Chains A and B, each alone.
Chain A
Amino acid sequence: MLRYSINRIIWFIPTLLAMAAVTFLIMSVTPGSPFDPSAGNGVNPETIANLERLYGLDRPLPERFGKYVWNAVHGDFGVSYHSRPQTVKDIIGRTFPVSLQLGAMATVFAVVIGMTLGTLAAVNQNGWLDYFSVTLAILFYSMPNFVMGFVLILFFVVWLPNHGIDLGLPVGGWGGPRDWILPMIALGAAPLATLARYTRSSMIEVIRSDFVRTARAKGLTENGVVVKHVLKNALVPVVTLIGPIFAAVGTGSFFVEQVFNIPGMGKFFVTSMQVQDQTMILAVVLLYGVFLAAMNLAVDLIYGLIDPRIRY
């Protein structure tokens, strides 16, 4: 297990380097720079040349890339070209916690509700609860998160108040708990659906197995069977979903943060894209890469821990 993890981590280094190289290359061939007069305040060409020299943009590409990697390894991701003199680290340090909070809430929401729905559906197979959760899962699953966000806004912020039921939910912002509810649902809906679907089919498979029949035969109560035998075994394959769910929540936040006007990293990233803030874009892409890879590794290791049949 230790060897496996070390192996995975070592393999990750070239992947990350290649990822950085691909992004760096794309960014360097992308026309326009944050110092273009069109992007900012009409600075003269001499100033632009000076700025480019200051940030080393006049150096050859391999040298720039080497320097970038060297600095990044030392925790220095440079200055945001657009929001000088703020450093990329400052901006990410300010916006990432917001995204992390939103992402964590959405994940918890998806896991709790999704697994509950899946379990209830499996236990009451072909009952109304089953049909309800399956229908809900399909609806949530096929709805892109930003569309989901607007559906929620149209329903809770426009339609309900117009019909006399005002829950006091705002269109957007990130001030207090009231602002958190709709983005959390919008971002968590798709993962919730995936989880509910998998939990349901996994549970149904376990319910049909021999050891469950044995457990019933020896006189355990229905709740005892479900909690002790079915749930425990059915959750094992569901754990593998947590990796993809983090990925979905991570990239989903770009749009959900835009929809609800949340000052997180996703919204900032979209802005960076529009103003060609290369250092910001590069850092965000790398951060996502590291984050997702770490999550996937963690999931694989957890999987090995809870399922003794798996050996690395």
Chain B
Amino acid sequence: MERLHSRLGLFSALPMLVVLGLCFLAPLVVVAAFSVMPRKVFDLAHLPDFSAYLVFFQQGYYKPLFWSLGMALVSTVILFVVCWPLAFGMAKVFRRFTLVLTVAVVVSLFVSENIRLFGWVLTLMKGGLIEGHWRAFTGEGFESPLYKVPIIIFGLVYVYFPFMLFPLAQGIAMVPDDARQAASDLGASKWQILREIDLPLAAPGIVVGSLLSFVLAAGALAESKLLGGQTVIVIADSVETAFTYGQDWPLGSALSMVLILIIGAMAIFGISRVDLDAIIGRKR
């Protein structure tokens, strides 16, 4: 009986597994297969020779990878620091104002990322909203912050803000007020409550928020293109170049695979450390 039960489970999951296999795994398999093909071929009917991976090391493609991962890490840390107080407020303090905040943040997602970023370009550029007005009032201009690394990180923080904020708020909401009060009654300082109650109990939210923003930022392209003027080349840019101007699908696939493997490993490691069921709300 027990065995039949588990089989029934598998059978009912079958349609979903097929859909997932087709929609999610198939493209990945194609990319993986292309990545081991000889360079500059456009079909899979060749003997694999892994030459595209060799190119990754020989031609310094680790540099864009470093920039992507580095900027993603910095932006994730900044996002965490910026979002924590706000998420805490949303989960524990603001009450009905939380809804206003949620709507305000979600509404920004209605406008395409590129348009929002171009809005920032128009705001920050020389002669733009800020510098133009400043010059009109004072007669003195100043250099725009565009086309430098910090502005790319600003762009990442700005675009991926909701992806950190909401999981974090969800995570903090899971911290029972009783636990915090008990800690306080027992003489814990605010710092101790944060470190020993809030952070560990909100861990699923922290992990989900950090993973989402890190993964998205590592594959981001528009921020470095629009705000950064490609002052550094990110890995997504190299992938795009390989597929288009380079007409080298295996190289583009190999670069994608390297990123997928690194991020996949991090995601699996991160998720294995927390109880995701807790945040999704399934009771055990």
Q: Is B one of A's binding partners?
A: no
